[in-house]
Structure 1
Amino acid sequence: MLNLAAVQVMFAAAGPAKNLPGTIGRLLGLYLALAMALQLLLVARLPIVDRAYGMDRLTLWHRWTGMAIFWLALAHPAFVLLGFARLDGTSFLATTVSLAKQPPVLLGMIGAGLILVIVVLSVRVARRRLSYETWHAIHLLLYVVVALGVLHQVYEGTAFRVNLLTQVYWWGLWAFALGALLTGRLIVPLLRNARHQLRVGAVVSESDDTVSVHIIGRDLDRLPARAGQFFLWRFPGHQKWWRANPFSLSAAPNGRTLRLTAKGVGATSAGLRDLPIGAKVYAEGPYGAFTAAHRTRGATVLIGGGIGVTPIRALLEDPELTGHVVVLYRVRSAQDAVLLGELRNLADVRRARLHVLAGRSAAGYQPFEPEQLLALVPDITARDVYVCGPDALTTAVLDSLRRLRVPGRQVHAERFRLAG
């Protein structure tokens, strides 16, 4: 809110443009630049922000900010061009062609076009048709957009050039956002990987299409990882550098090894089975607030679906997850229940209740409908609920929890939409 107020003050101090469309375009340009700076802070994934709010909440903010950027990237140039067209007495198209010959304006147009491409390909319908690796590579265009946006502001910005104070504020804001991005996405990962020297220690087949990779390294007891968190994993030399996937830890960190378990559904996860022992590993993280640290009640329900059971299995092993635990594991068939033996052993050790909910959803079998959840866990409103799985499952569970009036502070979900 303070930044929005500062933008309004800067806009007022700069004065209006030569006509109304130009004035509106100038204001929308300031909003666009501010929204882009906020988006940089969200994708920086600073540990303090990540631990405080969690990936699911950050994902929601990321989506809202992305849509705001989309509409502002359409409206800002449209109003600016309309203003110049009226001023010069030419058509909108002729003005566009004429101004596009000026490098600063062309840079802004290219940046706006890339924003439209990124947002359109992030819409759910388009997202479902893309592999995670392709979607992730497309989002690397964000860094090109940032570079173009900064250059465009250097040459075209007027509102923040009013005086020294506005220039210090505006470029200070952008320096902070860019610094956060470089710190969270480059400096911290480089330092951690240099320190821990992560390598593949073992590759274990869990089923025909699921594999676990055990990661070894130096001083892993000093890596601030917790059960329920995830890393972005890369395997240099064996996969392309831009291929990074968010895999949760499938076992609680023990200070000696880290374990991830993945199903072969994409180029990265399918290639895990062929990783040689000793292969270098590059990891970003740990990320996520899907941990026992965010519990508010003494008892817990852990709900996992498909391969989304991996952080659930890690949480079940976590000694910090005290109190009575109920585990609901949703799979299409018992054969699809990976890590089931480990879950049963852990449930026996800590006297937890484990329900394997197998079978396809049908009119008479909807295990996550409110009535079914209450039948499985009668005191669910008095427990913390952790849920991780396919998007449809997570959405269904969250909807039922709202209908059962489970307080929002007791609900913890991980969707990985911002992970990339």
Structure 2
Amino acid sequence: MTGLSQPMSPPAARPIAPPVMLARAALWAAVGFHLLVVEVMFALYGTGKNGILTAAKFFGLHAALLMMLQLTLIARIPWLDRRIGMDRLTAWHRWIGFSLLWTVVLHGSFVVLGYSALDDAAPWTTFFALAAVPAGLLGICAAAIIVGIASVSFRFLRRRLSYEVWHGIHMCVYLALLLGMVHQFLEGTTFSSPVATLYWWALWALVLGALVGGRVILPLWRNHYHQFRVAAVVPESDDVVSVHVTGRHLDRLPARAGQFMIWRFPGHNRWWQANPFSLSAAPNGRSLRLTAKAVGSTSAGLRHLPVGTRVFAEGPYGAFTSIHQTKPARLLIAGGVGITPVRSLLEESYVPTVVLYRVPDLRDAVLLAELEALARERNALLRVLPGRTGPGNAPFEPQGLYALVPDIQHRDVYVCGPPRMTEAVVKSLKALGVPGIQIHAERFALA
């Protein structure tokens, strides 16, 4: 444990408005603007052959808009990701996905009912007649894929599937997207105005451009440019290992302390095996470091990586950084291997800082020697809190946090650890009256 005094250098100037609020406002303003334009175009040029088919077109149009929004949220647009965070963007993507499910079902149902009324035929007869037409068949297949993907995304099914299986099924959404777009093109009856049609397809081009740019072009370019390779492998404990990665021009990689990257090690693991590991040291322009606990075959095998192994890294990602700092002091709370992004944040910290490190036993406190050295250099207060939570040992209850950090309301609080611990800490912070804008917690996971 070391003492707390004054920062080594003045903190950077804080923005007038928190970046997360600006990013959310920009995102939803753009969504609102395009939604308004499309609603006006539909009102002017979207009438169907009867009232039921007009409703079908309405739901089909909004299903496409929801799909556009979903793709935008997972496009990994750097500006949004650094301010909102991949975890929140992914959570929004998931819930919008369920809205998409019901919108697609309503669209299909109204199409069948509308043509059934138009042709004075039974609904099932109309369904098979539509399936015999290329545009109809493509739409039915796209809808079936979306229903299937949404079904395995319900929590009780999702938890029973490995990430690789779930991800493989989820990737079929791109097939549904392709089939749906061809379906739209063949139908060609959404808008009766050429200008409205041009706007619609330009909107699609913008969304697909962002998706391909963020998910394909940018990662490929960065890996070609930086040429990441394993420089060293350092065991930190029996089940924790650090991997040092070097490359070219790392000073131009826009990585910040607290962020994570998605790591692949081609030749050592299968190409689809990827893990999101935080940067456990602040980027210095010469190397990157990840520190991982062996919780699966991929992470367990990291200690056997040969030096010189080629690395494919996506990112950096995440909003767990100092750009969200709103107060001239901070509290860093870590549990278990959640210390890795906290350690990197401590390394770059030049404001009065308190670090609370929760571990089952002192022997589980990985990177402790580094933390103690950094705390001395940064004049930070480091407290290691060992033991299991129970009567007499509940440091993250409101009274426990207040006793450890009496000025907690005047600090930005960064929390990283197991989900249950993080939820308990956030709940206590709110009970202590810490404003939400000062609470920073991020889930480092792919899904």
Q: TM-score range by the shorter chain?
A: over 0.9
Q: Distance in 2 between matches of 1:270 and 1:98?
A: 55
User: What is the distance in 1 between the residues matched to 2:107 and 2:363?
Assistant: 54
Q: Give the C-alpha shift of residue 111 in structure 1.
A: 2.1
CA contact (8 A) 2:260 2:444 kept: no
1:272 corresponding residue in structure 2: 302
Alignment deviations for residues 53-107 of structure 1 (CA, whole Å, 9 cap, x no partner): 2334423432332222222122221222222233334443343333223232222
User: Could you tell me whether the CA contact under 8 Å between 1:312 and 1:388 is conserved in 2?
Assistant: yes
Please give the residue correspondences for 1:281-296 in structure 2 after superposition, counting only pairs within 5 Å.
281-296=311-326
The 1:378/1:170 distance shift into structure 2, 3 A limit, reads same
Q: 2:155 aligns with which of 108, 119, 124?
A: 124
**Unaligned 5+ runs, structure 1:** none
For the 8 Å contact 1:104–1:151, the answer to whether it is kept is yes
Change (3 A) 1:326 1:91: farther
Per-residue deviation at 1:122?
2.9
The alpha carbon displacement at 1:3 in A equals 1.5
Verify the 8 A CA contact 1:302 1:325 in the aligned structure 2.
yes
Tell whether 2:242 aligns with 1:184.
no
* Alpha-carbon distance in 1 for matches of 2:422, 2:124: 47
Q: Which amino acid letter does the alignment assign opposite residue 186 of structure 1?
A: V
Unaligned 5+ runs, structure 2: 1-31
Asked if structure 2 preserves the Cα contact closer than 8 Å seen for 1:303 and 1:387, the reply is yes
Verify: 1:243 aligned to 2:273, yes or no.
yes
- 1:16-415 residue pairs with structure 2 within 5 A? 16-160=47-191, 162-318=192-348, 321-362=349-390, 365-415=393-443
Kindly provide the amino acid, as one letter, of the partner of residue 264 in structure 1.
A
| Alignment: residue pair count | 416
Q: Relative to structure 1, is the Cα distance of residues 281 and 288 closer, same or farther in structure 2, using a 3 angstrom cutoff?
A: same
In the TM superposition, residue 343 of structure 1 has moved relative to its aligned partner by 1.7
Kept after mapping to 2: 8 A contact 1:21/1:83: yes
Q: Under a length normalisation based on structure 1, what TM-score does the superposition of the two structures give? A: 0.92
Between the aligned partners of 1:384 and 1:326, the Cα distance in structure 2 is: 10
Within 2, Cα distance between the matches of 1:131 and 1:6?
41
CA offsets, 1:289-325, max 9 Å, x none? 211122111110111222222111111111xx22211
Of structures 1 and 2, the one with the larger relative CO (CA 8 A, separation 6+) is 2
Q: Normalization by structure 2: what TM-score?
A: 0.87
- Detail structure 1 runs of 4+ shifted over 6 Å in the superposition: none
For residues 337 and 397 of structure 2, the distance between their equivalents in structure 1, rounded to whole angstroms, comes to 21
Deviation (angstroms), 1:15: 4.3
SS of structure 1 residue aligned to 2:334: strand
In structure 2, do the counterparts of structure 1 residues 93 and 268 end up closer, same or farther at CA, with 3 Å as the change threshold?
farther
Give distance in 2, aligned partners of 1:209 and 1:106. Answer: 52
Check 1:254–1:191 CA distance in 2 against 1; reply closer, same or farther (3 A cut). Answer: same
- Return the letter of the residue paired with 1:413: A
Task: State whether residues 227 and 251 of structure 1, in contact with CA within 8 Å, keep that contact through their aligned partners in structure 2.
Answer: yes
Give deviations 1:267-297, integer Å, cap 9, x for gaps.
4323322221111111111111211122111
CA-CA distance at 1:230 after TM superposition: 0.9
Distance in 2, matches of 1:226 and 1:173, equals: 32
Q: Give the stretch that moved more between structures: 106-115 or 130-139.
A: 130-139
CA distance in 1, matches of 2:93, 2:212: 18
CA distance in 1, matches of 2:104, 2:153: 16
CA shift, 1:150, in A, is 1.4
- Closer/same/farther in 2, CA of residues 389 and 95 from structure 1, 3 Å limit: farther
CA deviation after TM superposition for structure 1 residue 135, in Å: 3.4
Query: Which has the higher mean CA deviation after the structures are superposed, 109-118 or 32-41?
Result: 109-118
Q: Distance in 1 between matches of 2:146 and 2:291?
A: 34
Is the contact made by 1:203 and 1:212 (CA closer than 8 Å) also made in structure 2?
yes
Letter in structure 1 aligned against 2:176? V
Aligned-partner Cα distance in 2 for 1:363–1:152: 62
Q: Return closer, same or farther for 1:155/1:416 CA change in 2, 3 Å cut-off.
A: farther
How much identity, in percent, do the aligned residues show? 57
Residue 159 of structure 1: SS of its match in structure 2?
Answer: coil
Please tell me the residue identity of whatever aligns with 2:235.
Answer: S
Q: 1:204 to 1:29 in 2, by over 3 A?
A: same
CA contact (8 A) 2:281 2:344 kept: yes
Q: Find the aligned partners of 2:393 and 2:114 in 1 and give their Cα distance.
A: 60
Structure 1 residue 255 displacement after superposition: 1.3
- In the TM superposition, what is the alpha-carbon distance from 1:30 to its structure 2 partner? 0.6
Please give the secondary structure, in 1, of the residue aligned with 2:327. coil
